[in-house]
A and B are shown apart, each in its own frame.
Chain A
């Protein structure tokens, strides 16, 4: 486990919650990338990223989500985000990522989105 970036996974039926905490920068982004790859290889395509302990994100970190989103949506899966801090949200907003990802208040809310099969479409 990298001391700058913490990743914890929790499985609920066919949904995996990945808790990402610490610093997600150009240096640590490959760690998250490998971790997501592993989850997808295990056949999980419905993933919630709980970002309550995420303190920092840069474009390299955001790029990790972009790298997989098309693949998992093609497999009828999605990424949802839960408990994101305001400062992290401000970066998602700057890039318009709030328009392509569901950003929710809690894990439960995100799980419900999956249960109701609500998949966000790219709005362009």
Chain B
């Protein structure tokens, strides 16, 4: 897996601080501004929370590996997990108006990822690869 930066998280909501620190360090090192840092942290949290809840069902013995690199005005992340496959693109587009109208509690996370990130790719685990890979890319303005 390519990436200058790597973080391994336990599938536990208590680990989200480590994730924010990881993103903060990458942004500081690459002179990425506060506004982008805030939104990128949020998109990454939403993606990890989905994996913790849906892919791993809160089993904190499981792990998520996160790889990142910054190049040519873009920041890339690859999230790797070994749980149940779930392609977030399958639920897009999310009708955010419906969420507001019905005061729904869920469904906002994937919507936020899609609003913040410019590219979302997903490769489910298969006979050649035991892990699911979610790739998120943001163009830095």
Contact = CB atoms under 8 A, between A and B. Distances in A.
Contact of A66 (B16, B97, B103, B109): B103
B46 interface: yes
B49 A60 contact: yes
Interface string B22-43: 0000000000001100110110
A80 to B, nearest CB: 16
Given A63-B108, A69-B103, A58 B13 contact: no
Given A59-B112, A87-B35, A95-B96, A27 B106 contact: no
A70 B103 CA distance: 7
Interface in A102-124: 122, 124
Interface string A53-67: 000101110110011
B135 to A, nearest CB: 21
A59 B46 contact: yes
For the residues of B in contact with A, the DSSP-based class is helix
Sorting the interface of chain B by its residue count into under 10, 10 to 19, 20 to 34 or 35 or more gives: 20 to 34
A94 interface: yes
B78 to A, nearest CB: 21
Contact of B42 (A58, A122, A124): A58
Interface residues of A, number: 26
Contact of B105 (A23, A67, A90): A67
A4 interface: yes
Interface in A2-37: 4, 23, 25-27
A67 B104 CA distance: 7
A43 interface: no
A66 B96 contact: no
A59 B109 contact: yes
A91 B13 CA distance: 21
A7 B54 CA distance: 29
Contacts of A90: 35, 38-39
9 contacts: A23-B17, A25-B16, A25-B45, A26-B16, A59-B46, A66-B104, A95-B100, A96-B96, A100-B100
Interface of B: 13-14, 16-17, 20, 34-35, 38-39, 41-42, 45-46, 49, 96-97, 99-101, 103-106, 108-109, 111-112, 115-116
